[in-house]
Chain A
């Protein structure tokens, strides 16, 4: 529940091990032995799909002046839904609009169904839906697949609880927040408790900050580009960038990971973080694994192409007879 993550449906029903996730996905998309070009369009990399959805949901959310948390909740709904329903059997644009419509109600910022449809249709010509009842029906499907487990625990809360403990600067908090936003493009929310993701984000933010302050003027560190643009945008409570730029580049993230070994030399803030981790009950392997996952995401991000995901969506929607 809201106070106790460990008793929540999120912890009990929606947190998996990696083998479990792999098994679920293999059952959902049985690997075809001989994919022929005429047969089925291969799905984009799941992380690219996720980046695409996040980018588009963010645009929609900004138009509706929504909060970061509603956006994050919608992303988790989609993640869970697509563990149970094959992506290529759906209209992903309808699902995105519906997930956001539902998450807004859950996060106490309800939007009228007509407004949601109108804005979604304006943003996605591919939506192909003109009746609000389609969102209504899709909402039934979504809630049913989610087993009505709609209350979520996000890492943002742990971040705000821990920022004072580690004496994070506003810039570090903001960067950590961006990294959390990025984590919704990985499997991390399905693998770890929110505080693990928050600590991972804090760790990465702290490691990356010193480098950035020296390099910021020279603008040689593209890793913080998204971060610095995001601070100036008006999206409330959020630094999620409207563009598909990650908060960190693959290279700088790898450097961060390399620094993991020599952390104690890297400054008092880091050593405090490391000491705290050593003394706390937090699973160290989980943090290391999550950090690697984020680094891997940033590498993967470099190969992201919005156009190819979009075309992939269009093709499989056509194949499924959706359009």
Chain B
């Protein structure tokens, strides 16, 4: 049994999905389109799977992401649809609901955010909803994770009513068009109801043509055109789509009026929002406030004063080096393993992974605090504050989401650009986002700042982040002036109310990032460290040689001179950068291995600075490059995404070397 889970964006769909399936895991890719869909079995319902579709306002797609919903409804087999609805925004959410009910498949409505609605002084009369729409429905609060709710939903899913398709009273001209298209669809063999399909076609759902090979496509398009002209001529609405929309809006308004019941007079939180908004998005103070908040966050994560993250890392480091590695070394010696094997295990693997894992506490602290910020609704205000600024560089307003995601990991950030409808704007965002400092680059900043700039850690790390942002913006401007000329940017943002974030959600998000970090350490970095150590200890003369004569030294030594102008032209620093393309954290483990734990010996204060600047901007990691390839589908842009950052990183690092060379 397969059930599709559909709903608007930001209505607690993922919370609901995790709640119903009791999973935090990503299970697998779902066949069909190239985009990932999460599938998991439903608790208390043997043999049933829930498919998490991307959030959408509408069945008809306006971006690639939303096309999946149309595709799934048209081309995949399923037993029912579960529609999750934000109870506090019924009038908007129900547009999708109406479209799903018009399809006439077994459906269930889940009205989420019951508690928030109650706080506003309202309840939903569920019995009336059931009666009016003839579907199963329930009102819940997915955040509370009530066991009874879970059981009731599962049991209702097993007994979904066979629903008759919802029929709204559209304008006679539209009804006429529906009939004409319906007749033309007789030539096609299609799984879904043709009446629904006809309506979607009239609405301008291009997905219907894209995913179905309709025999009479030409004729159908002519009918759509004719209906549109007649609608405008008869002054029913400004467009055909608008006429359909208005009928639905009227139906929804009546429904809401009947089913939404006021139980208590409450002062609306909007005015509270406004007061805070005035300060936080102030034209002069908005940006400084943002930077002060960010600086405080980096100070707590990495700084020494009030530095929770730094404090924890110190103990983590002691535990790792003085206990774990020490006793492991003792054990190996006891077993008689010395020389090559000892070196591989202790210096190679433990040294390589340890160099990364020590940053785990700092990363957890950082992401915990960023998740708090996100949960409060502040990030949407940052988008408002930054809009004027971003638009000057030709960014789409929606780019702010991928940019913020990019601070975590570039790969999901690039995938998040799917919500940008304009293709040019999307590619522009994809190409510039790798400059945003992802969390994998943090260990590099962490190690160098602790060795060379201990007093100014938070400021230098924040500075590197700002540099990344600046290069992103300037690159966007540059590309906009050259290749992507003339793509205008639009800004339309839903402003969420301020909320007190849930501790469980935040902890979960931070731990999820930590888990990914550890997983990477156990796979990519482990293998990378081993290979690197082996290459640096094997040469033409066999094993256990002087590293200066190793294979690695020979290969990297050949390339190294190009970094001489930047001040770090030795083979160790170069090899570390090359291996960093595997995953950025590997730069640190490589440095640890190649300088045998004494990185400070390999750099001057100035070359350390140019090195981190270069490392923060150069070639993206393999995972990112692969994602760029699959998302743009273009070899040209993929190659560009490798060469362009290298050139930029080189130029910026060179400038840093020249400018700071005067002071340092």
A binds B: no
Q: What residues make up the interface of A, taking CB atoms closer than 8 Å to B?
A: none
Q: What residues make up the interface of B, taking CB atoms closer than 8 Å to A?
A: none
